[in-house]
Chain A
Amino acid sequence: MSSNGKPKIAFFDFTSCEGCQLTVVDSLQDHPELLNVVEIVQFREAMTEKGEDYQIAFVEGSCTRASDEPRLKKIREQAAIVVALGACAHLGGVNALKALHPLDEVRKYVYGDKADWYETYDTRPISAVIDVDYAIPGCPIDRNEFIAVVKALLLGKKPPIPDYPLCVECKLKGNVCLYTKGEVCLGPVTRAGCGAICPSYGASCEACRGFITNPNDNSMREVLAEAGLTVEDITSIYTMFTTYQVREKLQQKG
């Protein structure tokens, strides 16, 4: 705690687009009262001041190189609570797409014969490097969910992240199911909490919030196949944000 009794919070970014931190800025725009109850001591994208004494760390971005691990571990040592902020930190996110090709080829495709100049390794969520207490899912995060999580943490409660499929929220919104329009969607296996924002704007759910705890993968794949998707198409739709999870599952199956 700082001398004024407010908990100190800090924001950090690793490999990401920083869109989740921008969403935080937008959330604070709607809820400036939060600044009265917490003290932000580090937020490189928005402020110059830097404090190394903090209790809650929000970490955006995935870990994509070994040399970033010490910084991540130092954050873990300092913070009482570490929260993964958004899909890159939570899942690996789109950064993990590069795992679908051999890493050497990926490096050469982008940096040619200078590939060795630039350090990289297989993309991983931050939970693969340090213990993570909570995750705020989504690409980007949902601003209302961010506020709800901060409020819960300040009250010493577990953040309210749903563990039921997106279809529940989509139905409550009264959306016409995309499958009835001849389109496909990962709503049945994806964790809710975003208010089914993509289907509400006519686009299919791409599972940026990750899967629910026990998704019925086999049924989902059957439904996608019945909708006319090839095996390659199903791999595509299943890997947009969740390549790391899909590969982990394959490795477990051996």
Chain B
Amino acid sequence: MSKRIDVHHVTRVEGHGNIVVEVENGNLTTCRFEVVETPRFFEAMLLGRPYHEASHITSRICGICATGHATASLRATEKALGVTLSEQSWLLRKLTFHGEILDSHILHVYMLVAPDFLGVGSVIPLVNTHPEVVLRALRMKKLAGDICAAVTGRHTHPIAMTVGGFTHFPTTAELESLHKRLVESRKDLDATVELFSKLSWPEFERDTEYVSLSKPDEYAYIDGDIVTTDGVRVPPERYKEVTNEFLVPHSTAKFTRNKRESLMVGALARFNNNYDQLHPKAKEAATALGMKPKVTNTFLNSAAQVVEIVHSTEDAILIIEKLLERGIQAEEPAPVTRMPGEGVGVADVPRGLLIHHYQIGEDGRITGANCIIPTNQNINNLEHDMRVLVPQVMHKDQEAMRLDLEMLVRAYDPCISCSVHVLTIK
């Protein structure tokens, strides 16, 4: 019995990746996830650029997590140059970040993952067979995009976020309207949790080291320590102790490993590390989805995203209430207090831990840059998962086996353009 699965460019993922699996006489002989995206060299592109351009350049690493890249980039610059954000700026940064988590997760679970479970090749046939599901997804996704648009002008490549704060502010009326729509969207959340709790997720277990940010006072998305389920806790500046990167010839993305052979970042890692800090309604959703930490079924990363959709909606409602209570002020960005400087910015973006590390010279130009991307950290773990999954499914016919492997890849919600865009060796 010999089989070769060669999915040249996996679809419904961001970027270009290939699955190559060979089984000969019942033995797994080849098992690779090849990243064939073109390298883009963002870190080198940053060299010599003025510090205020960094977030605009690096948001272009990824159209899906542009706000996440801008956030990590700004935090790196702000730490390097001694910039302290106001309370209002923090609330706005967090609000637009929730907008991106919602936008990205809704896109992933509804349009990229759900078609596999409903037996179709894309979301388009669902327009006829499951119109209420598609309309709900579109309605939720539009609201997410509108949150980002109100705060920063647009979701893909945010405009109004700058070093020290913002150059534009949402109006009270815009915030009130978003609040009303978020509250109304709770019925869509209930329907979402119900839909995904009925799916039969593939049975699969492989424990790994789950890595995320962690903060004492909230479910961490921006800033915090880097923690792992194997008991590691380091401040962002010591990120290299966790993200030991290495190169392999079949991938333009670098791989990472820490305590074990591989590690995993993303919604499931955050869920496993920070479950206690989820909003009570998000915990209810987790219960409905049959999840309690530590969850070691990789396919449930998509279910953890559903839990986070609930959390981000509820937290966005609370943030808007705070902003409305305080009243929105048109503030100047907080000042730069030192130059030169070096800083590490961290954000737990939709696909997991993102790190930007900059050195800025006396003239305000960038002299060194390093970015570590969630998908890079995950690809190595994905290959190890594939090695466990293939023997479990190799009795199936080629087509069914291919679908299982593709579903595993999609569970990671990989962002392959990101993964090759910024990798540095110093």
Contact = CB atoms under 8 A, between A and B. Distances in A.
Interface string B150-173: 001110110110100011100000
Contacts of A236: 48-50, 53
Interface in A3-28: 13-23, 25-26
A97 B45 contact: yes
B153 A111 contact: no
A110 B152 contact: no
A120 B38 contact: yes
A105 B44 contact: yes
Interface stretch (A73-81, A165-173, A193-201): A193-201
Given A64-B38, A100-B48, A114 B247 contact: yes
29 contacts: A15-B38, A16-B63, A17-B62, A19-B156, A21-B63, A23-B156, A43-B122, A45-B11, A45-B13, A47-B11, A48-B12, A48-B121, A48-B122, A98-B41, A101-B47, A105-B44, A109-B43, A110-B39, A110-B41, A112-B247, A140-B156, A198-B153, A201-B159, A201-B168, A203-B162, A233-B50, A236-B50, A236-B53, A240-B56
A95 interface: yes
B64 A22 contact: yes
Interface residues of B, number: 61
A202 B50 contact: no
Contact of A110 (B60, B115, B160, B423): B423
Given A110-B423, A202-B168, A18 B64 contact: yes
A139 interface: yes
B353 to A, nearest CB: 19
Contacts of B417: 16-18
Interface residues of A, number: 60
B14 A117 contact: no
Interface string A90-134: 000111011011000111011111100111100000000000000
A216 to B, nearest CB: 24
Closest 5 CB pairs of A and B: A19-B63, A202-B167, A47-B122, A112-B425, A48-B121
Interface string B190-214: 0000000000000000000000000
Contacts of B424: 109-110
Interface string A33-62: 001000010011111111000000000000
A117 B145 contact: no
A252 interface: no
A201 B167 CA distance: 6
Given A19-B66, A21-B63, A236-B53, A29 B122 contact: no
Interface string B405-426: 0000000000001100111110
Contacts of B39: 64, 110-111, 118, 120
B401 interface: no
B15 interface: yes
A68 interface: yes
A48 B12 CA distance: 7
Nearest to A140: B156
B105 interface: no
A97 B43 contact: no
Contact of B44 (A48, A68, A101, A201): A101
A140 B158 CA distance: 10
B38 A68 contact: yes
Nearest to A109: B44
